[in-house]
């Protein structure tokens, strides 16, 4: 598994992946539409799928002493690592004093807080659960699975940005930047991470089943 | 057919000795002289418009098997089934006496594959690919890889896209041999190579087979490759295995005679070929006419069997 993850990073991951992953830093912009970060995040899966196809990754990988299931696990694990990396930038906001500036400027959609991170994890989990099982039916076709997986992801991003403006009381804190009401924020983060883990593992399971019957 | 005693050595003698020692250490306790390295039985795969039909063969240690047939005959599909990249509809595949299903890791640790024309990760450097590959193999030998790089003049700093086709093939052969593969499976490894590079690759395969007792299965369109190094042959036509066994015995089954002579002798015409001197016919050697057929004769006559 370790060797496969190394292979993904050194041979398969598209150079644009690193640039897109670093765009997680956009969370440091005060009062911005952070939903865009998730768009960049899911693009990573597309670029890497395309790059794997164009570099004939399967021709190399099938010769290796590695199971198809392990190949799936490694690719999704790399994606999960990148997704987590993008969301981790939020930890820099408080030390850099960005939360204070954001409070003064007022919210634009969902604010940068742990609610956003929790919901972001859930969103990435949703994308992984939809994209990878479709993609691994035929890893030589990336576009259609990506387009299909983008539909629920786009709806989720729109919902994420709209949530603070909904009239329900529990939605209001989502638009407040910073780590206020930490207990509630951590709870949502925990739920988001759990959903992410379950959805991604489910995606791996379904993707492995799909890939098991694929003929190169 | 090649004689092991006259085989050109592609490794320094010390290197060969070291490699042989490592090889002996690697050789599985599960394999014996009598166990085929690869055994394929009744392999069948259906596609719309094409069927790979009931393919059965075995690869023994120390022997080189040439896999021939026209484009679309099913050679690559067979090799992909053997690699696990394509699922056969029926049939069994066993490596080193163990079923492939459930023992894929065991089989691939001991087998070197080159089925993709060595055309992967074109922008990556040779050294990067080697460094990634070595992590997958329990018996990777960095010394052996360095020696092959030196022998093949493979520059670790070069990107795959900067290598010629011949150098790419050499890279994949070097990768396979550096983990002490007991079995090498290659799809047209000499395709696109200049004659000198082809000789070099064939010499390496002969070294692997005759000095390290590895089994080699390789497909090719170039009959002179087989004449140079193959011990056995598998001849595939339209998805069916129409000939298999020792190359010499396979060739001895056929003779070539002018068509009128074959007709006059009432010999069964197995295939036809149009030449400047008139039609020539492939006939069974026991018809007692014509001259012994070369592999080229057999390959160019047999596909026209239906015409006859």
Residues B243 and B266 placed together within one structural domain of the fold = no
Regions of chain A with pLDDT less than 70: 100, 102-107
Structural contact between residues B76 and B115, judged by C-beta atoms closer than 8 angstroms: yes
Residues B155 and B297 placed together within one structural domain of the fold = no
Last residue of a domain, one of B223, B248, B273: B248
Residues B286 and B185 placed together within one structural domain of the fold = no
Residues B295 and B235 placed together within one structural domain of the fold = no
Nearest-10 Cα torsion for B90, B93, B97, B98: -80
Within 8 A of B87 by CB-CB distance, chain A residues are 213, 215
Longest dimension (CA), chain B: 65
**pLDDT at residue A103, rounded to an integer:** 64
- Residue B94: which domain range? 4-248
Residues B260 and B157 placed together within one structural domain of the fold = no
Q: What is the DSSP letter of A9?
A: I
Is B115 near chain A, with CB under 8 Å? yes
Residues B240 and B288 placed together within one structural domain of the fold = no
How far off is chain B from A75, nearest CA to CA, in Å? 15
Residues B267 and B236 placed together within one structural domain of the fold = no
Q: What chain A residue is nearest to B123 in terms of C-alpha separation?
A: A55
CB pairs under 8 A between A and B: 72
Q: Which of B84, B120, B128 sits opposite A57 (nearest CB)?
A: B120
Residues B186 and B278 placed together within one structural domain of the fold = no
Structural contact between residues B226 and B220, judged by C-beta atoms closer than 8 angstroms: yes
Residue B79 reports pLDDT greater than 50: yes
A63–B124: do the CB atoms touch at under 8 Å?
no
How far off is chain B from A47, nearest CA to CA, in Å? 15
Residues B218 and B297 placed together within one structural domain of the fold = no
Distance, CA of B248 to CA of B209 (rounded, Å) = 18
Residues B236 and B275 placed together within one structural domain of the fold = no
Within 8 A of A3 by CB-CB distance, chain B residues are 132, 135-136
Tally of CB atoms within 10 A around A213: 10
CATH of the domain at B54: 3.40.50.300
For chain B, the domain total comes to 2
Residues B120 and B24 placed together within one structural domain of the fold = yes
Q: Which of A2, A213, A216 sits opposite B85 (nearest CB)?
A: A216
- Section B42-67 average pLDDT: 92
Q: What chain B residue is nearest to A2 in terms of C-alpha separation?
A: B135
B83–A63: do the CB atoms touch at under 8 Å?
yes
How far off is chain A from B240, nearest CA to CA, in Å? 20
Q: Token pair for residue A165?
A: 């403006």
Predicted ipTM > 0.85: no
Within 8 A of B115 by CB-CB distance, chain A residues are 59, 62-63
pLDDT band at B156 (very low <50, low <70, confident <90, very high): confident
Residues B244 and B257 placed together within one structural domain of the fold = no
Tens of pLDDT along A61-76? Answer: 999 999 999 999 999 9
Q: Where are the alpha helices (DSSP H) in chain B?
A: 13-26, 75-83, 104-109, 126-134, 142-152, 165-178, 195-210, 223-229, 247-252, 259-264, 295-301
pLDDT band at B176 (very low <50, low <70, confident <90, very high): confident
A6–B105: do the CB atoms touch at under 8 Å?
no
Find residues 5-64 of chain A whose CB sits inside 8 Å of chain B. 6-7, 10-11, 55-60, 62-64
**pLDDT at residue B96, rounded to an integer:** 93
**pLDDT at residue B303, rounded to an integer:** 61
């Amino acid at each position: 598994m370790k060797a496969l993850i190394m292979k993904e990073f050194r041979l398969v991951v598209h150079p644009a992946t690193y640039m897109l992953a670093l765009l997680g830093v956009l969370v440091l912009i005060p009062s911005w539409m952070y939903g865009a970060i998730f768009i960049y995040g899911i693009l990573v899966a597309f670029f890497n799928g395309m790059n794997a196809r164009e570099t004939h990754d399967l021709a190399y990988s099938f010769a290796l002493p590695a199971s198809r299931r392990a190949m799936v696990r490694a690719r999704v694990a790399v994606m999960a690592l990148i997704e987590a990396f993008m969301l981790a930038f939020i930890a820099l906001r408080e030390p850099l004093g960005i939360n204070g500036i954001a409070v003064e400027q007022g919210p634009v959609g969902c604010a940068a807080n742990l609610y956003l991170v929790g919901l972001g994890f859930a969103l990435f989990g949703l994308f992984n659960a939809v994209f990878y099982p479709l993609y691994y039916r035929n890893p030589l076709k990336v576009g259609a699975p990506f387009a299909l997986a983008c539909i629920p992801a786009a709806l989720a991003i729109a919902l994420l940005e709209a949530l603070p403006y909904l009239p329900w009381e529990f939605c209001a804190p989502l638009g407040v930047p910073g780590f206020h009401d930490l207990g509630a924020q951590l709870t949502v983060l925990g739920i988001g991470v759990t959903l992410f883990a379950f959805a991604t593992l489910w995606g791996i399971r379904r993707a492995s089943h799909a890939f098991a019957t694929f003929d190169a | 057919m090649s004689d092991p005693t006259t085989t050109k050595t592609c490794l320094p003698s010390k290197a060969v000795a070291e490699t042989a020692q490592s090889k002996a250490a690697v050789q599985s306790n599960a394999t014996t002289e009598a166990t085929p390295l690869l055994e394929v039985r009744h392999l069948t795969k259906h596609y719309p418009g094409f069927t790979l039909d009931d393919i059965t063969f075995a690869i023994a240690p120390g022997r080189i098997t040439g896999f021939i047939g026209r484009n679309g005959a099913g050679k690559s599909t067979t090799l992909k089934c053997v690699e696990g990249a394509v699922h056969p509809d029926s049939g069994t595949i066993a490596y080193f006496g163990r079923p492939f299903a459930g023992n894929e890791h065991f089989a691939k640790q001991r087998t070197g594959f080159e089925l993709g024309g060595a055309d992967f990760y074109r922008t990556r450097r040779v050294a990067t690919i080697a460094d990634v590959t070595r992590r997958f193999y329990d018996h990777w030998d960095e010394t052996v890889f360095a020696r092959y790089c030196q022998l093949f003049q493979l520059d670790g700093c070069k990107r795959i896209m900067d290598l010629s086709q011949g150098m790419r093939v050499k890279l994949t052969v070097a990768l396979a041999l550096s983990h002490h593969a007991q079995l090498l499976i290659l799809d047209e490894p000499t395709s696109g190579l200049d004659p000198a590079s082809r000789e070099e690759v064939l010499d390496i395969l002969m070294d692997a087979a005759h000095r390290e007792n590895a089994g080699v299965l390789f497909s090719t369109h170039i009959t002179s490759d087989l004449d140079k190094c193959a011990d056995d042959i598998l001849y595939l036509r339209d998805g069916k295995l129409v000939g298999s066994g020792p190359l010499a015995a396979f060739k001895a089954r056929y003779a070539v005679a002018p068509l009128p002579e074959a007709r006059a002798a009432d010999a069964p015409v197995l295939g036809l070929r149009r030449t400047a001197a008139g039609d020539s016919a492939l006939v069974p050697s026991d018809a007692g006419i014509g001259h012994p057929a070369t592999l080229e004769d057999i390959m160019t006559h047999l596909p026209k069997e239906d015409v006859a």
